[in-house]
Homo-oligomer: A and B are copies of this chain.
């Protein structure tokens, strides 16, 4: 049970943890080597800038990866808390120091909340920062069950979803899913210095998306990369090799009338196909991407019916972009979409009550259009009553 907590380091993450804990009634003690930063966190309602009068239930070390080991060792030597966790995005290094140098490795469990970090500092903190985001926990073989449960309670208190992993597997995964994406954002942003004056007006959404995280705290990011350099280098080298292939393909495509254009086009398409396959593996990117039950609804041939139907299915959480429309020989439109397995019957029934001709084809697939293309959808006749 967490009743008292010490947060060391009151930047974006530390202050957000402290705000979430304070809101739940936990007594939080804040410290930061920069006094202004700690006082700012306190003034935001994150806790007290006072030394805890007695041992706290949990200490959260919200310092850069390279400092976690030293701060943990120091805190344990002063018996600051019963249990210690951290929020650094690299876990092998801190665990190694916990096991080799810290007074009591059984009381430490590594942690890493996965949230956007393009902002920094306590003013960017929010109690809700972690809500529904993954929060990795990397208990070592020495970590006690009591310590692990205390960390799980912290994650629950912050509204996050715990994901348990070994520190090595964690570091390799975040090299791929977090650190290399950030480096690519930085590499792209660095190129923007080449933009001719005025042409930055032509910046579009894709650029904002790709470069967003490059606005983060560069000292913190450099610390992260240093702490996970080997895993990050491995991924970057593979991206570099893919990019060399892409350059060769672009050179082929740039030839005015060369015979290699088809080969260049194939290479580019293959890259995009691999990208689509990679994206399909990320959870939550698209409703229904993980499979689901198909629903099909006939669109009456009157003005305004398609928008009205899209509004009706939006009530079930289906975005119009995730639906597909098909016209039969006579030009009649049918809308198809995919919903969570188990929800399809209820949705079909609701749509029928609303006057729509809705059916649930037997075949289930991630995309209606695929289903139709393969010819395993219901025959058009089955739709009209």
Contacts and interface: CB of A to CB of B under 8 A. Distances in A.
A204 B134 contact: yes
B215 A285 contact: yes
A183 B278 contact: no
Contact of A191 (B239, B261, B304): B239
A113 to B, nearest CB: 9
Work out how many copies of this chain go into the complex.
Answer: 2
Interface stretch (A75-83, A195-203, A342-350): A195-203
A146 interface: no
Contact of A243 (B119, B200, B205, B240): B240
Contacts of A324: 121, 123
Contacts of A131: none
A224 to B, nearest CB: 10
Interface stretch (A57-65, A148-156, A248-256): A248-256
A277 interface: yes
B187 A246 contact: yes
A3 interface: no
Contacts of A269: 218-219, 222
Contacts of A320: 123-124
Interface string A258-273: 0001001100110111
Interface string A220-245: 01100110011011011111101110
Contact of A199 (B43, B173, B205): B173
Contact of A39 (B193, B247, B305, B327): B327
B246 A183 contact: yes
A365 to B, nearest CB: 18
Contact of A207 (B163, B177, B243, B251): B177
A281 interface: yes
Main secondary structure of the interface of A (DSSP, over half): helix
A316 interface: no
Given A134-B201, A207-B181, A187 B275 contact: yes
A73 interface: no
A102 interface: no
Interface residues of A, number: 123
A184 B276 CA distance: 13
A55 interface: no
Contacts of A116: 204-206, 209
A363 interface: no
B279 A211 contact: yes
Contact of A238 (B173, B191, B279): B191
B250 A229 contact: yes
A257 interface: no
Interface of A: 35-36, 39-40, 43-45, 114-117, 119, 121-124, 133-134, 136, 163, 165, 169-170, 172-174, 176-178, 180-196, 199-215, 218-219, 221-222, 225-226, 229-230, 232-233, 235-240, 242-244, 246-247, 250-251, 253-254, 261, 264-265, 268-269, 271-279, 281-283, 285-286, 299, 303-307, 310, 320-321, 323-327, 331, 333
